[in-house]
Amino acid sequence: MEFKNPLAAIKWKRILGWTVFVLVLGAGGYVFYNYGAVYSDGYRDGTLIKFSRKGFIFKTYEGELNQGGIANPAPGTAMVNQIWKFSVKEEHVADKLNTLGGKVVRLHYKEYVNNFFWEGETKYLVDGAEEVK
């Protein structure tokens, strides 16, 4: 009587192929969700108080927008400003923001779950700017 191995009938190449396919598909979905999908977008208005180019190897444009503040009604307390930090990766937007320092601006941004280190320090990437008159 001949003994047959029940595992011999399984197509190991096919199982390995599907496993690799599922892993690659899952890794691609993870990278797209975390680094490519836009979580939200919109506009922010305020005074542009800082805009600079930062970084040792990968230079990125970083800025801060003062969106105003909320005055505390208690006597002797100061107004608390709301500062919004953002990044810019497009050169033409950075050139426009360099001319708008200290002015009231309206910025269009896209928020990502995460971003690559060469895109900026924040997850808010500004792709449009205009001066508010």
CATH classification at residue 82: 2.40.50.140
Measuring CA to CA, which residue among 116, 56, 53 is closest to residue 88?
53
Domain that holds residue 15: 10-35
**Residue 72 in this model has a pLDDT that exceeds 70:** no
Question: Has this prediction a pTM greater than 0.95?
Answer: no
Q: Is 5 a domain residue?
A: no
Same domain, 21 and 69: no
Q: Is 105 a domain residue?
A: yes
Q: What is the pLDDT of residues 20-65, one digit of tens each?
A: 999 999 999 999 888 888 999 999 999 999 999 998 899 999 999 9
DSSP strand pairing (104-112 vs 60-70): unpaired
Q: What is the pLDDT of residue 23?
A: 96
Q: What is the pLDDT of residue 119?
A: 87
Helix then strand then coil, in percent of the chain rounded to 5, is 30, 40, 30
Q: How many domains does the chain have?
A: 2
Same domain, 65 and 30: no
C-alpha distances (whole Å) from 111 to each of 64, 75, 87, 106, 108 are: 15, 38, 10, 16, 10
- What is the pLDDT averaged over residues 115-124? 89
Same domain, 16 and 44: no
CA–CA separation, 18 and 97 (whole Å): 50
Q: What is the pLDDT of residue 126?
A: 96
Q: What is the pLDDT of residue 123?
A: 93
Same domain, 57 and 114: yes
CA–CA separation, 30 and 85 (whole Å): 26
